[in-house]
Structure 1
């Protein structure tokens, strides 16, 4: 039992690490070069199952590679002075093209609005990177292979269905709370804050143009649990408000 709990904890750490970022290096197997690894920079947004979704053109080299062989990896790491000490996660996956471009479009563009022009082009499509294995390096000596079922978030279809409504409510009626969350958790005072996504592990706020991540203390699986977690965070923020 202890080993299982430890593996689940490591999987959650890796997943939360990936949630903090929206850019990685995608490695595909080169069709042109007979299978040599081919690396390219790739923005991504996670779906509610924890799989990265990327928006790529049929004209791009990595798309041609994926269509020939769907085996890929995506390394996620921060831009830090000492990148080896900062930690990183490599997601080993199989890429699959999403048949419907519009279904994921709203979520993707909330996180990456700069991709709107690409999204509008007919030759750009979404590919989901379905995770099959995970390499997590959390710092010196903290090196683990993590099975995909340990990395996967708890199933929360009710929360995924409620996401748009939660965002609309928070942004219309509780923008002041979002600004207080930024001050309380991240120590920054912002003028403009809007929630761009919520998942079982936490939520993301665009604060003066930068996306800030907020993790829940425990996973939430539906709108009611999300409301309770957000109300609790608002109480904590008010308790630490200056003056």
Structure 2
């Protein structure tokens, strides 16, 4: 895996909103862009939740070729910061896939109410190729084998999150306040993967990257304990 792919994946994992571009059915031949929240599934693909009555959903049903552009929302100079355009096909997710729903709702709990009003469906964005710009003059195409990484905690993620949220709330506040330097009152872990873990602090996504990839529950426990003992901001011990 290239350094560019690692950097691109780190950016993708740190964000939760992108610009979804579809092919307009109302104005044929023209693109249609819309702000769309997303999470990542256990294959590392973006997952979106969209309503059947939305324009972008109608566009996808006519032509499922899409792109999702993701960038650092908090960069002081977006032009010099990293951004990635994920190009691929929007594929509906089977309604029986409870993992996709559970993971999405951990990141966006308010979305649970959407199912009471309109017909909403989950789609995964199957990658064909990604375009990553890491700054001025740093422009790369990245293919799926380099971009995608299977989440090693796909079977145990729910148990890890439940344990951290129920028994280690103080550690989560420490991660946010000390390591991320973000003062929050309400905090919860929402996801963990081989490259890092996510929290929701006062409604905002907070991502902490591991210094090196991990793949076992034992490694996850060890690194989370070390992070809880970190006294000042910095990289993972």
TM-score normalised according to structure 2 size: 0.90
CA offsets 1:98-144 (integer angstroms, 9 cap, x no match): 11166122211111123222234451100000111111111111111
Given that residues 180 and 233 in structure 2 are in contact (C-alpha distance below 8 angstroms), is that contact kept between their aligned partners in structure 1?
A: no
Within a 5 Å distance, the mapping from 1:1-243 to structure 2 comes to 7=2, 9-79=3-73, 80-100=75-95, 103=98, 104-121=100-117, 123-153=119-149, 155-157=150-152, 159-237=153-231
Is the helix fraction higher in 1 or 2?
Answer: 1
Distance 1:227 1:119, change over 3 A: farther
Distance 1:118 1:187, change over 3 A: same
CA 1:214 to 1:81, structure 2 compared with 1: closer, same or farther past 3 Å? closer
Shift in CA distance, 95/193, structure 1 to aligned 2, threshold 3 Å: same
Residue 35 of structure 1: CA displacement? 3.1
The 8 Å contact of residues 135 and 145 in structure 1, kept in 2 or not, is answered as yes
User: Contact 1:137 / 1:144 at 8 angstroms: preserved in 2?
Assistant: yes
DSSP-derived class of the 1:195 partner: strand
RMSD, aligned CA: 2.0
Distance 1:50 1:180, change over 3 A: same
Q: Does the 8 A contact of 1:132 with 1:148 survive in 2?
A: yes
What TM-score do the two structures reach when normalised by structure 1? 0.88
Q: Secondary structure at the match of 1:236?
A: coil
